[in-house]
Amino acid sequence: MNLDNYTTSQFGEARKTWGKYGYVAYFPRAIPRQLELSSKVIRLLSDADAALGQLVGVGQL
């Protein structure tokens, strides 16, 4: 594999590992501990949660 074929993104990067037989591996970035969510996204998540609750209720019938 050619390391130049891969690009670094906000999610991680490809790097060659150490050692005589090093290989190209993907190294993900750390997961953020806090997310900035807009009020629209929060409202959509709430609607999705309510729809799942309705689905659970129908499934129990």
pLDDT in tens, the chain (61 residues): 677 778 888 889 998 888 888 888 889 999 888 888 999 999 999 999 999 999 998 888 8
Measured CA to CA, the distance from residue 24 to residue 3 in angstroms comes to 7
10 touches 28 (CB < 8 A): no
What integer pLDDT is reported at residue 1 of this predicted model? Answer: 66
52 touches 59 (CB < 8 A): no
- In three-state secondary structure terms, 40 is helix
What integer pLDDT is reported at residue 48 of this predicted model? Answer: 97
What integer pLDDT is reported at residue 22 of this predicted model? Answer: 84
Measured CA to CA, the distance from residue 28 to residue 30 in angstroms comes to 7
